[in-house]
Structure 1
Amino acid sequence: MSAHIAESLHLSSADRIADIGCGTGMFAREVARIINPQHAILCVDPSLAMLHQIGTPPPADLTPIVASAEDIATGHVQSPYEQLDAIWLKESVHHIADPAATLYGLAARLAPGGRLLVVMLPTSIEYPLFQAALDRFTELQPDPERIVGHLRAAGLQPQLRYVQHELHLDREKYIGMVRARYMSVLSTFSDSEIEKGIDEMRAAHPESVLTFPDRFAFVLGVKPGGGR
């Protein structure tokens, strides 16, 4: 995933970069290893507990910032860089209350030729979850085509592509992930509903290893100008 992000954004070591909604910095850390940045990658997340997992002190090539996407978009929290060359949001756009306004604000912080990448799941997924979770995910997940429209409205030149991998996971490990609500949609179910769903999953998937596709939409917007 980190390699796909670096490739999609055409990242170079000279770029000023922000990972918005970085969580524990897992992808930023790997991107830094790939490109060896001259400027520390900004790791932006509203959760201080998540950011603490980046390290205390953090690595020299990562700069944690306690802020939401909206904070950066509106300038409520200032970036250490006057402009950014690349921004990515990995599976965080569905947490944004007003994605059109927030993406517009983030696009405004790009230098000419800057790139903004939204990595997100499509509106339907083929995970071995219980049916109610799959249905609710489809109900709540933003359509990547709408994100394309938001980036175009923000003055960026958008494009959409899909990347797919096949996952192989131990069934009991995956059930443990579901019980721990590893996807945000699972937090909308009660404990009893989760357990009922797990019973449904066990019946539908008696195999010990689950094999299923993991498909992501990569929505890239490029700001006109610059040498790219």
Structure 2
Amino acid sequence: MERRDARGHYEELAAEYDEHWVYGPDYVPWMSGRIVEALRLRPIDRIADIGSGTGLFAKEVARQVQPRRPLLCVDPSEAMLRRLGTPPPPDLTPIVASAEDIAEQRAHLPYEQLDAMWLKESVHHVADPAHTLQGLSDQLAPGGRLLVVMLPATIQYPLFKAALDRFEELQPNPAVIERHLRAAGLQAELTHVEHELRIGRDRYLGMVRARYMSLLSTFSDNEIEKGIEEMRIAHPEPVLVFPDRFTFILGQRRGGNT
């Protein structure tokens, strides 16, 4: 099995990241809207997107919320953050740091405390989720909210079997993440949201070849090509239709007026 570090994977993918993740015109607004609703975001909130990548969702959240102070886009990949623009939009502030850097207070934030933060599909990159989520929770203001958005333990993507098997092997259990938030002193709840995806088969095969999911970076080029051939046989239809189901784990610090 070929493994690459997550930071290197995203450095390579940065230039075409948005192309792979904008499944359709309604996907980013839909997901961003669910994040806004779950976190009950307000213009007065001090907000951070931990593991923001190119800011794909942060940009849309900022458009919907119109925050009075810049939304923090935190990511360890400078290449990804450069996709915010030069200079970045005035309502977004890039910060080159990992979730662990923020949790350990090794990175300087312009806000003393945060009212809301989210981690979308990045908690599986964290080596010690319990410790990191505790450190992130400690930086919440009274009433502050922390949202972990992750795929469930199993997915119904039209991937090749070895990729689906490896996903189940590597994916953290959402119930465990919920317990970590409770252990960090937050009130926590777990819910699900679902969105139907329709993607042209050839486009999706190209996304797999480009390793749009970090999971796919654990496969060699030869394994990817064999997997794509398996997918071609299993899915002759020109448009792939499948559910994109997410687990939302929301933690809230007691106190405040939220």
Q: Which TM bucket (shorter chain)?
A: over 0.9
SS at match of 1:155: coil
- Which stretches in structure 2 are left out of the alignment for 5+ residues? 1-30
Q: Does residue 85 in structure 1 map to residue 115 in structure 2?
A: yes
SS at match of 1:139: helix
Give the AA of the match of 2:47. Answer: I
Aligned residues: CA RMSD: 0.5
Give the AA of the match of 1:55. Answer: G
Give the AA of the match of 1:57. Answer: P
Percent sequence identity is 69
Shift of 1:109: 0.1
Aligned to 1:30: 60
Counterpart CA distance in 2 for 1:10 and 1:4 is: 10
Counterpart CA distance in 1 for 2:237 and 2:57 is: 31
Aligned to 1:135: 165
Q: Does residue 57 in structure 1 map to residue 87 in structure 2?
A: yes
Match of 1:8 among 31, 38, 48: 38
Aligned to 2:104: 74
Shift of 1:227: 1.2
Shift of 1:114: 0.1
Q: Does residue 213 in structure 1 map to residue 246 in structure 2?
A: no
Give the AA of the match of 2:108. Answer: Q
TM-score by length of 1: 0.99
Counterpart CA distance in 1 for 2:90 and 2:213 is: 31
Counterpart CA distance in 2 for 1:32 and 1:192 is: 41
Q: Does residue 194 in structure 1 map to residue 218 in structure 2?
A: no
Q: Does residue 103 in structure 1 map to residue 133 in structure 2?
A: yes
Counterpart CA distance in 1 for 2:159 and 2:56 is: 25
Shift of 1:70: 0.4
Aligned to 2:201: 171
Task: Write the deviation string for residues 186-213 of structure 1: whole angstroms up to 9, x where unpaired.
Answer: 1111111111111110110010000000
- Which stretches in structure 1 are left out of the alignment for 5+ residues? none
Match of 1:159 among 162, 171, 189: 189
Count the aligned residue pairs: 228
TM-score by length of 2: 0.88
Counterpart CA distance in 2 for 1:170 and 1:25 is: 25
Give the AA of the match of 1:28. Answer: A
Shift of 1:121: 0.3
SS at match of 1:101: helix
Counterpart CA distance in 2 for 1:16 and 1:216 is: 25
Shift of 1:78: 1.8
SS at match of 1:142: coil
Aligned to 1:116: 146
